């Protein structure tokens, strides 16, 4: 896209806008804005017989709640300002959806495609050693998670390394989330951020104010949606949105855009990419240049790729009336200004993509409790449902369909319970944003309302702990 302000610049601009609506002393606001602790490291790793020095980072933005929480990304352009900005966004994201963590973020400046699996394992484990030595990881200290360029595999390496360095620690698996199921993970985590975006889109359209501004109804079925980014977030969102009756008319990726006004077959497109490593030349759509997704006629745009994608120039090209941010910081403040002028509603990242950290919270709780969700109550729920069915059948003389009864016998599994908790979180989050927006009619957008929600909670938490004199 286009060069522009850094993520830290964008965060600070959004923070300052929101701070004008929060009643707190200037010194308190300044302290909340600042990043609390940063660890920048240079560590050696043996790569193909040569010692290579890599640069890594971990930023803990706020300790108003502990532990801190945030992903680890492997990307060549990771730097100190980026992880500080992402850590700050995590602080307000967690506060926004009432997850009791402070914000953190980390990364290593590498392109993971340049390394073998064995080399990535060596790099990841050495990075974990550095974090452990400096006290930047631990179930009660700082809990990483997957981000760009990392996944459950890397989280398993981190958990194993931490456990080896802390023998006898009962809660060692809770040092990181996003792990494989066999190593303390939780069902539903892989799709969590994409499902959260789906819920955010649905919840936004429940409000009359947003319906009027966008010209859309509360029905999501039939919506024409363009997704930028077909990775973990964009891929899962597109799959779930299609299953919900939406029409995915375009997918923008790093090398091209694939479009079809009649709707893409998302499952077929996912299979095509798995086989070829790219969505290019997919037979179910037309392949165009990488920025062509901006010009596609649609109702909703979901940017789910990199930061700073929608600036003054690119935002002006967007045809959608509703933008739901699946990525971290995809819109710059100049892009926001264009959307406000055009009347485009933006559902901000600190709410829309909070599904990942919400389900990470559930995984952390599962690891600390050493028990999967539903283990104690599931059978009670099944028996209660079946008794209700028997009672209704006796009173009415009608028999429930066998498939319905059989479904009740299964009960709610872990993934269903996780999805239920995520849905409730997203519903409540949107309610809080709209309540703040209604309280301040002069507020420019939903992003400011979301930041105000988060900032008020962080300031209140500091006051509760007696941090302020």
pLDDT tens-digit map of 66-86: 999 999 999 999 999 999 999
Check residue 389 and give its pLDDT: 80
pLDDT reading at 450 higher than 60: yes
Residue 351 exposed, middle or buried by CB count within 10 Å (0-12, 13-18, 19+): buried
Could you tell me how far CA 184 lies from the centroid of its own chain?
20
Check residue 425 and give its pLDDT: 96
**pLDDT range class, residue 2, cuts 50, 70, 90:** very low
What are the tens digits of pLDDT across the range 307-334?
889 999 999 999 999 999 999 999 999 9
Q: Which regions of the chain carry the CATH code 3.40.50.720?
A: 186-374+412-469
Q: Are 223 and 299 in contact (CB under 8 A)?
A: yes
pLDDT reading at 346 higher than 50: yes
What are the tens digits of pLDDT across the range 227-277?
999 999 999 999 999 999 999 999 999 999 999 999 999 999 999 999 999
Residue-averaged pLDDT of the chain: 93
pLDDT reading at 394 higher than 90: no
Check residue 286 and give its pLDDT: 95
Q: Which regions of the chain carry the CATH code 3.40.50.10860?
A: 39-183
CA gap 280, 273 in Å, rounded: 8
What is the pTM for the complete model shown?
A: 0.91
Check residue 422 and give its pLDDT: 96
**pLDDT range class, residue 302, cuts 50, 70, 90:** very high
Choice between 230 and 413, residue whose per-residue pLDDT is larger? 230
Is 105 an annotated catalytic residue?
Answer: yes
The whole-number average pLDDT for the span 176-193 is 94
What are the tens digits of pLDDT across the range 125-151?
999 999 999 999 999 999 999 999 999
The whole-number average pLDDT for the span 9-33 is 92
Check residue 159 and give its pLDDT: 98
Check residue 3 and give its pLDDT: 58
Q: For 39-183, CATH number? A: 3.40.50.10860
Check residue 7 and give its pLDDT: 87
Look at residues 368, 357, 371 and name the one whose alpha carbon lies nearest to residue 172: 368
Check residue 124 and give its pLDDT: 98
Q: Are 433 and 440 in contact (CB under 8 A)?
A: no
List the structure tokens of 49.
């017989």
Over its C-alpha atoms, the chain yields an Rg (Å, rounded) of: 23
**Torsion on CA atoms 10, 12, 14, 17, rounded to nearest 10:** -140
Which of 84, 105, 366, 457 is catalytic? The answer is 105
**pLDDT range class, residue 465, cuts 50, 70, 90:** low
Choice between 7 and 125, residue whose per-residue pLDDT is larger? 125
Q: Are 405 and 421 in contact (CB under 8 A)?
A: no
CA gap 392, 118 in Å, rounded: 60
pLDDT reading at 464 higher than 90: no
Check residue 398 and give its pLDDT: 84
412 Cβ contact list (under 8 Å, min separation 6) = 374, 378, 381, 420
Q: For 186-374+412-469, CATH number? A: 3.40.50.720
Secondary structure of the chain in HEC code, one letter for each residue: CCCCCCHHHHHHHHHHHHHCCCCCCHHHHHHHHCCCEEEEEEEEEEECCEEEEEEEEEEECCCCCCCEEEEEEECCCCCHHHHHHHHHHHHHHHHHCCCCCEEEEEEECCCHHHCCHHHHHHHHHHHHHHHHHCCCCECCCEEEEECCCCCHHHHHHHHHHHHHHCCCCCCHHHHCCCCCHHHCCCCCCCCHHHHHHHHHHHHHCCCHHHHHHHCCCCCCCCCEEEEECCCHHHHHHHHHHHHCCCEEEEEECCCCEEECCCCCCHHHHHHHHHHHCCCCCCCCCEEECCCHHHHCCCCEEEECCCCCCECHHHHCCCCCCEEECCCCCCECHHHHHHHHHHCCEEECHHHHCCHHHHHHHHHHHHHHHCCCCCCCCHHHHHHHHHHHHHHHHHHHCCCCCHHHHHHHHHCCCHHHHHHHHHHHHHHHHHHHHHHHHHHCCCCCCHHHHHHHHHHHHHHHHHHHCCCCC
The whole-number average pLDDT for the span 31-36 is 94
State the pairing for strand pair 68-74/102-108: parallel
pLDDT reading at 1 higher than 60: no
Check residue 377 and give its pLDDT: 72
């Amino acid at each position: 896209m286009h060069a522009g302000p850094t993520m830290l610049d964008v965060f600070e601009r959004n923070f300052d806008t929101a701070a004008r609506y929060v009643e707190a002393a200037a010194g308190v606001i300044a302290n909340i804005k600042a990043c609390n602790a940063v660890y920048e490291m240079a560590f050696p790793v043996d790569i193909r017989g040569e010692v290579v020095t890599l640069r890594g980072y971990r930023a803990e933005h706020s300790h108003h709640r502990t532990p801190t929480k945030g992903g680890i990304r492997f990307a060549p352009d990771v730097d100190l300002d980026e992880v500080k900005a992402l850590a700050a966004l995590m602080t307000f994201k967690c506060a926004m959806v009432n997850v009791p963590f402070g914000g953190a973020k980390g990364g290593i400046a590498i392109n993971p495609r340049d390394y073998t699996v064995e080399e990535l394992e060596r790099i990841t484990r050495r990075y974990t050693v550095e974090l452990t030595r400096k006290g930047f990881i631990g179930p009660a200290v700082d809990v990483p998670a997957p981000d760009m360029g990392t996944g459950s595999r890397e989280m398993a390496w981190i958990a194993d390394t931490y456990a080896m360095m802390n023998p006898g620690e009962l809660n060692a698996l809770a040092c990181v989330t996003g792990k494989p199921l066999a190593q303390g993970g939780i069902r539903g985590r892989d799709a969590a951020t994409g499902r959260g975006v789906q819920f955010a889109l649905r919840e936004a359209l429940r409000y009359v104010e947003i319906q009027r501004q966008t010209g859309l109804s509360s029905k999501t079925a039939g919506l024409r949606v363009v997704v930028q980014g077909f990775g973990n977030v964009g891929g899962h969102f597109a799959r779930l949105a299609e299953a919900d009756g939406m029409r995915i008319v375009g997918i923008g990726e790093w090398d091209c855009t694939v479009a079809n006004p009649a709707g893409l077959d998302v499952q077929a497109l996912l299979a095509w990419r798995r086989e070829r490593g790219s969505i290019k030349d997919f037979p179910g759509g037309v392949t165009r240049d990488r920025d062509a997704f901006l010009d596609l006629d649609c109702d909703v745009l979901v940017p789910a790729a990199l930061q700073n994608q929608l600036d003054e120039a690119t935002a002006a090209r967007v045809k959608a009336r509703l933008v739901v941010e699946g990525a971290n910081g995809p819109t710059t403040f100049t892009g926001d200004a264009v959307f406000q002028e055009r009347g485009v509603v933006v559902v901000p990242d600190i709410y829309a993509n909070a599904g990942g950290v919400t389900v990470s919270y559930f995984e952390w709780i599962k690891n600390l409790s050493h028990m999967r969700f539903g283990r104690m109550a599931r059978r009670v729920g099944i028996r209660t449902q079946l008794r209700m069915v028997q009672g209704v059948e006796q009173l009415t003389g009608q028999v429930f369909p066998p498939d319905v009864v059989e479904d009740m016998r299964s009960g709610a599994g872990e993934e269903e319970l996780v999805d239920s908790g995520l849905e409730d979180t997203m519903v409540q989050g949107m309610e809080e944003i709209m309540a703040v927006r209604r309280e301040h009619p002069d507020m420019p957008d939903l992003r400011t309302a979301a930041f105000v929600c988060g900032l008020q909670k962080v300031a209140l938490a500091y006051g509760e702990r007696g941090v302020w004199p």
